[in-house]
């Protein structure tokens, strides 16, 4: 686990950032103008994005000089790029299979990707107490993306784009669903390599293999300052009494791996549903609902503070079961409608409340010294998007499976 996968050696160059970034902004403006003149929307959008981003960055870095001796390839950025490439090929291939116009699909992918990146950065800045200025929004070089911000903003961007193209956004969403799920897997692997989005400390009885997976390094050989370590190591030095001399963090739940595995399960689900779906949008709605449930549960084990918290302070044995009960009710109202056999549907609806009951007793049993908590922003968004998906599911006539009429 390390933030840099490898480094590419470069000549020793000194590059003044202000003129260099202004040059890139000018090239972006030229690309946008070319795209506008040729009516190529994707070139216009890319050029505009480059122009605005580089222009703002130029004034932020005015007077700074970049000394190039090597080019670091960061683990999270590399995995993010891989996820975009994988998502592109998956989405374009499925778009062709579903009969979507390839130009419209390509433009839609670009719009969705750009909106996702901006939304992920915006929500991170809003929920991070250390980054609250307008300049922080475009400071992508410092890292910091919120998955749910990207998910919601990407969908809204796609909805606006495909509405203008007179194309059903749910048809596009079913095409994009496998790419979104694969992006979740790859993105969380990047988080694991970097050491962010880690979990709470493991108990003494945790198996050794899990403790090994959940231990993150200091990075630097000499602990010159608390800022020279993985996010987990820094968190534990600042708030859990870990010594600056400690070579690793405390063993924690590797929640990045948990969420990557959740992504694998969701990817398998949407691939199967795409083959058996009974209505357009079913795969995407199932992905949205499933991710909301899994993210809500995984957040219970998260231990990083840079997530954002909202709502009343309640004991975990109160707030978590309430959230799970809302999700269960949403499942019973929406996705359960597509279960054909009535008795199987009723059983599934009843069993969906099992996690809420189980969470109540488990958390209540360990609540002797527990402090009240707030739900995280991701938990609120998980419940909100899952409920929205369930309501949409229930509103689609083709999603309902009515019991067969009984012939006397």
pLDDT digit string, tens, across residues 88-129:
999 999 999 988 888 889 889 988 998 998 898 888 888 876
pLDDT digit string, tens, across residues 64-79:
888 877 777 888 888 9
Cite the beta strand spans of 226-283 per DSSP E: none
Is the predicted pLDDT of residue 335 greater than 60, yes or no? yes
The pLDDT value recorded for residue 156 is 94
The pLDDT value recorded for residue 175 is 94
Is the predicted pLDDT of residue 404 greater than 70, yes or no? no
Q: Percent of the chain beyond pLDDT 90?
A: 50
Is the predicted pLDDT of residue 405 greater than 50, yes or no? no
pLDDT digit string, tens, across residues 165-223:
888 898 899 999 999 999 999 999 999 998 889 999 998 889 999 999 999 988 765 44
pLDDT digit string, tens, across residues 141-156:
455 788 898 999 999 9
Mean pLDDT in residue range 387-400: 85
Is the predicted pLDDT of residue 224 greater than 70, yes or no? no
pTM for the model:
0.85
pLDDT tier, 157 (very low <50, low <70, confident <90, very high otherwise): very high
The pLDDT value recorded for residue 245 is 82
For the chain, what's the residue count?
408
pLDDT tier, 259 (very low <50, low <70, confident <90, very high otherwise): very high
The pLDDT value recorded for residue 406 is 36
């Amino acid at each position: 686990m390390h933030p840099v996968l490898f480094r590419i050696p470069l000549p020793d160059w000194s590059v003044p950032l202000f003129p260099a970034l202004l040059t890139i902004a000018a090239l972006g403006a030229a690309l946008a103008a070319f795209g506008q003149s040729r009516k190529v929307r994707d070139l216009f959008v890319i050029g505009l994005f480059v122009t605005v981003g580089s222009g703002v960055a130029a004034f932020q870095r005015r007077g700074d000089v970049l000394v190039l001796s090597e080019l670091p390839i960061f683990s999270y950025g590399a995995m993010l790029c891989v996820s975009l490439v994988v998502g592109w090929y998956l989405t374009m291939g499925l778009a062709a299979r579903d009969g979507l116009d390839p130009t419209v699909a390509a433009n839609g992918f670009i719009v969705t990707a750009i909106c996702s990146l901006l939304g992920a950065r915006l929500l991170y800045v809003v929920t991070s107490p250390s980054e609250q200025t307008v300049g922080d929004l475009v400071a992508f070089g410092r890292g910091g993306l919120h998955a749910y911000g990207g998910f919601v903003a990407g969908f809204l961007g796609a909805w606006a784009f495909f509405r203008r193209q007179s194309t059903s956004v749910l048809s596009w969403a079913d095409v994009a669903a496998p790419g979104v799920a694969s992006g979740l897997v790859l993105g969380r692997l990047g988080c694991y390599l970097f050491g962010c989005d880690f979990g709470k400390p493991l108990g003494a009885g945790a198996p050794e293999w899990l403790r090994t997976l959940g231990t993150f390094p200091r990075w630097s050989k000499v602990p010159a300052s608390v800022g020279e370590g993985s996010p987990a190591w820094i968190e534990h030095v600042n708030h859990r009494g870990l010594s600056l001399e400690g070579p690793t963090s405390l063993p924690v739940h590797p929640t990045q791996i948990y969420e990557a595995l959740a992504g694998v399960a969701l990817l398998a689900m949407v691939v199967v549903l795409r083959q058996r779906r009974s209505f357009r949008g079913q795969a995407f709605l199932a992905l949205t609902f499933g991710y909301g449930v899994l993210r809500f549960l995984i957040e219970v084990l998260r231990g990083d503070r840079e997530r954002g918290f909202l709502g009343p302070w309640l004991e975990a044995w109160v707030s978590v079961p309430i959230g799970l009960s809302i999700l269960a009710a949403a499942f019973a109202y929406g996705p359960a409608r597509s279960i054909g056999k009535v008795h199987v549907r009723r059983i599934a609806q009843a069993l969906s409340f099992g996690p809420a009951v189980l969470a109540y007793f488990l958390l209540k049993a360990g609540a002797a010294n527990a402090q009240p908590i707030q739900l995280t922003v991701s938990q609120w968004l998980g419940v909100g998007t899952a409920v929205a998906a369930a309501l949409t599911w229930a509103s689609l006539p083709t999603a309902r499976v009515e019991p067969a009429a009984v012939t006397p």
